[in-house]
A and B are shown apart, each in its own frame.
Chain A
């Protein structure tokens, strides 16, 4: 007899309720009994996952790494079963003002680099790892100015990124980090006036959110959930509004090869160590 499959998601925006209420209705119409619980932050969501409070986590990339590392420490397994098409092959950029004398990453030495929230993979962790990989140590060679908006939501709401972009235009920082799509968005909306900035450097590609399950997840229900996700069509008028809200055209099978740079960032910046230590017991 099947049971209710429960999803855990972080409430980074009011639309999260609309999205999952909508998908819940869709899943019910297709024979899957589905419900969801909301968390205010990803760390508590991961903790709840290991405590058995729900079955499938809609994880940020950092939350995926948290889940994967906690699972490894406890002798368990975490699996990424699905993700959005828009979660694959992202890049971040480091941006300077057009007239800035900064031409290379090496020119950032002694300068101030604006980043997003401290737990934002795309606007903080990954760009800082990119800078470090180029031989410039963010801990000693430059000043990092964080724009800590809604820490715990791993930068989902992009508020910190936008603040860093504004600080760049205001001359408060010498460079700012953001996801590639947000440089286009900020330019279109005027946060970055047309012609005011130049892209200094671009990171390698990386992946973003995924649906994570642990080894004790109900296989039949998870399988049906994944099947329904992968079977959704953007041409279906019932589901398109939900896909638009969630920001994708199609769901893809999960993959993990796109988390390499974020894993290196977590290792070098030691961002997760206190929390991981608390989760090891």
Chain B
């Protein structure tokens, strides 16, 4: 019978070099200083490896038949150094989202137990008052639910006929839209990479927005090339206008300009296209 404070671990044919080390580490985690672990196995090298492993791990060792006896001399070896909790995974819990999350929390999930010795990451948007919205998780869930498949949502094979000049106008509109949506993709994508991951839901909203714009680009490109094998034109003025959005360092302002100026530009451009449509 195994005495109290003494635990027996049977590794069978599993050597320390073939995963037995993991079972050994798990067994030791449940023991305290002064406890003894008798490790038994069939691997001929077990006693040799146990001695070396115990020595490197700071535990005492003595050989026994078919293995070795390890006396625990220290615990907590798996823990590195000081740790801190990086907020709470549920954003609705009080204090879950930090006002100024440290850059050393880096890519760690909000709510994780973070090693304080981690090196700083370079996230330039880390102020809650600038970045956060309590609605972010709801908006993200809404966006996820609203995802659609262009292949099934649009009947690309539906027959239609348009006068040549109208089809040309449609292609030009699509060309504008592709340009607009490219800007609309780049802006959230650029900001997503600058936001501290502590504000996970905001990062996710921007990412899914970028994914939405990618889908728009795909749809507009496909429509433009249904009847034509070339796209329309892109103007220096139009690009200059969109460039002001890409150059805007403030996310809130950039999004506002994208929504108003970008969509407004479309309205103006599409209005120009419509104005050129011959009357029937």
Contact = CB atoms under 8 A, between A and B. Distances in A.
Physical interaction between A and B: yes
Given A188-B17, A198-B44, A240-B81, A247 B56 contact: yes
B242 interface: no
Nearest to A90: B55
- For the side of the interface on B, what is the size category? 20 to 34
Contact of A237 (B18, B58, B82): B82
B202 to A, nearest CB: 33
A267 interface: no
Interface residues of A, number: 26
B57 A91 contact: no
A79 B73 CA distance: 27
Contacts of A247: 56
A102 to B, nearest CB: 14
Contacts of B73: 249
Given A93-B48, A183-B45, A234 B74 contact: yes
Most buried by A among B52, B56, B57, B82: B52
B266 interface: no
Contacts of B48: 91, 93, 180, 183-184, 199, 202
Contacts of B76: 235
A180 B52 contact: yes
A contact face: mostly helix, strand, loop, or mixed: mixed
B49 A184 contact: yes
A18 B41 CA distance: 40
B117 A180 contact: no
A199 B43 CA distance: 11
A180 B58 contact: no
Most buried by A among B16, B17, B18: B17
A187 interface: yes
Contact of B55 (A85, A187, A240): A85
A86 interface: yes
Interface of A: 85-86, 88-91, 93, 179-181, 183-184, 187-188, 194, 198-199, 202, 234-235, 237, 240, 247-250
9 contacts: A179-B52, A180-B48, A181-B55, A183-B48, A184-B16, A184-B49, A199-B45, A240-B81, A247-B56
